[in-house]
Amino acid sequence: MAETRFRIWFGDNPATEDELRGVVEIEVTQEMDAIWEARLEMVLCLDEKGTWLHWPGDTATPFSRVRVEIDIGDGRFAPLIDGPLVSIDASLDSLPGRSIATMVVRDDSAFLNRDEDTEQPFEHRRDSEIAEELFGRFSEIRDTRIEGTDATPETTTRRGTVLQFLRQLAIANDRHAYVLPGDTAGASIGCFLPDPTGAAGLPPLRLIGDGRNLSNARVGEDPDGAERTRAQVLRVDDQGTTTFETSAADLGLMRDLPARPVDLTPRRLLHPGDNVRPDPTAAASGRARRAGYVYKLTSDVIPGCYPAVLVPYQKVRVDAGSTPYSGDYLVTKVVHRITPSLYAQQIEAKTDSVTSMSGAQVAEALAGGLQLSVSVSVGIF
């Protein structure tokens, strides 16, 4: 089995082997529409004079840059998080080997979420153009991935932090506003994108049969989901009304069968707080799409059995045998856990439809049951 390695960068400097040997565990939580966060647990010791050794404050100051990367054995390091150190939590004990300092790191969207303010209206500008300008105000954001929007409101006023405002614009346009780590430290990517329409080229996740790499899979169903969203706006020019109605099935499903039959689909009104644009199409579509994700999957990825690093905002195929749950899912959350001996991933994903039984991929069960033997070697660099 290929060796799994991880790296930590403090600013422009890679962590030394002594610093890496002090790492007990790294947990990186990546979630859609949320600031990503990493917690680096490092062991502390006392010298003969009672002075704490290996205190992380010796190598990192508040809001200094920390970057964590993982190589699962293909020779390429993938960034898990890149951003400022926001706090150091301590768990202290007089007994040897039981004191821990935890470095808390967040992605660079933390810089976008610090200062609340009001800003004069952006007049006659597309929301995607506003997003491009706002991302460009931060030196930590070196590149952007923005899909253009069509609507051009007369005025758009910012109130709150830049990140809060970007997410308001995203909701109004069926988009997500977030920050991804770049290929190099301090060069993050600002994103203003809709849900992906195509697969990310990831290997399939398998629950049973040959190549099994999932365990403890749980699928929950939202009984109030799969709504048909209706929006109505009063036009100022002629005092008429503009009405728009849609559902996830109208927008395009990930699979062949809707989560709910048409006659059982609940009808909902777009919330007034989201229904503020002259054209409600994008906001209603976004609400219908979000509510359409009826099925939520949570599962553990078996260590050493999956040849890719998962991240949110990507689609992946899940094979759960001849069940309606097999098919494409949108990854919404990944928790990466790294120790000196193990790398593990835990995922959450969602889908808006089911697979017909006749079209489901049937996995062959292993004769005599499944025996699992996992051996992982993790190096530090």
Strands (E), 140-181: 141-146, 155-160, 176-180
* Integer Cα distance of 248 and 307 in angstroms: 32
Return the pLDDT at 151. 72
Of 31-45, 253-267, 298-312, the one with minimum mean pLDDT is 253-267
User: What band does 300 get if pLDDT is binned at 50, 70 and 90?
Assistant: very high
Torsion of CA 148, 236, 250, 217, to 10 degrees: 70
CA angle 253, 176, 270 (to 5 degrees): 70
Q: Rounded to whole angstroms, what are the CA distances from 255 to 184, 252, 258, 293, 355? A: 37, 9, 8, 12, 6
Closest by CA to 308, choosing from 282, 339, 361, 347, is 347
| Spatial distance between the Cα atoms of 330 and 254, rounded to a whole number of angstroms | 9
pLDDT (tens digit per residue) in 59-112: 668 899 999 999 998 899 999 999 999 998 888 877 767 788 899 999 999 999
Residues 335-371 pLDDT 10s = 999 998 899 999 999 999 998 865 334 333 333 333 3
- Nearest C-alpha neighbor of 195 from the set 91, 329, 62: 329
